[in-house]
């Protein structure tokens, strides 16, 4: 894959033959639709936002902390715990709304 003057080797998990990738993630409609992991212990995540199955709309290169952030996991990847969150609006990529589910109080408590 080529982006401007940058070459990404999706088979080897390298950018310009030297910068390691940890994973490549594909996102469409606010849901992760594909993921490829590489054996690199350290590396970046290449996150590809797809407009449709054949067209990219964005390519994001991020460090692990950003990939694991709540914003990225919930808003961009659509990964959340349904025990604690309910998605009430998905107008990806413009907006997304979640409702926090408060734990139910036990009726056996005094």
Q: What rounded mean pLDDT belongs to the chain?
A: 93
What would the mean pLDDT of 12-37 be, rounded to a whole number? 96
Residue 54 lies in a domain: yes
Residue 51 lies in a domain: yes
- Burial per residue of 33-53, b for 16 or more beta-carbon CB atoms within 10 angstroms, e otherwise: eeeeebeeeebbbbbbbbeee
C-alpha distances (whole Å) from 108 to each of 91, 102, 104 are 41, 18, 12
Is the distance from CB of 7 to CB of 16 less than 8 angstroms?
Answer: yes
CA distance 3 to 102: 44
**pTM, entire model:** 0.84
Query: With 80 as the cut, is the pLDDT of residue 107 above it?
Result: no
CA distance 100 to 83: 9
pLDDT tens-place string over residues 30-76: 999 999 999 998 999 999 999 999 998 999 999 999 999 999 999 99
Residue 16 lies in a domain: yes
CA distance 68 to 17: 25
Number of folded domains that form the chain:
1
Residue 107 lies in a domain: no
Q: Domain range for residue 64?
A: 2-79
Query: With 80 as the cut, is the pLDDT of residue 109 above it?
Result: no
């Amino acid at each position: 894959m080529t982006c401007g003057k940058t070459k990404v080797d999706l088979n080897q998990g390298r950018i310009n033959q030297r910068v390691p990738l940890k994973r490549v993630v594909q996102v469409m409609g606010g849901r992760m639709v594909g993921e490829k992991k590489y054996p690199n212990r350290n590396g970046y995540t290449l996150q590809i936002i797809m407009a449709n199955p054949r067209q990219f709309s964005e390519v994001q290169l991020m460090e692990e902390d950003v990939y694991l952030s709540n914003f990225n996991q919930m808003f961009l990847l659509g990964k959340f715990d349904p025990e604690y969150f309910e998605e009430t609006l998905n107008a990806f990529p413009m907006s997304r709304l979640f409702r926090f589910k408060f734990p139910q109080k036990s009726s056996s408590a005094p």
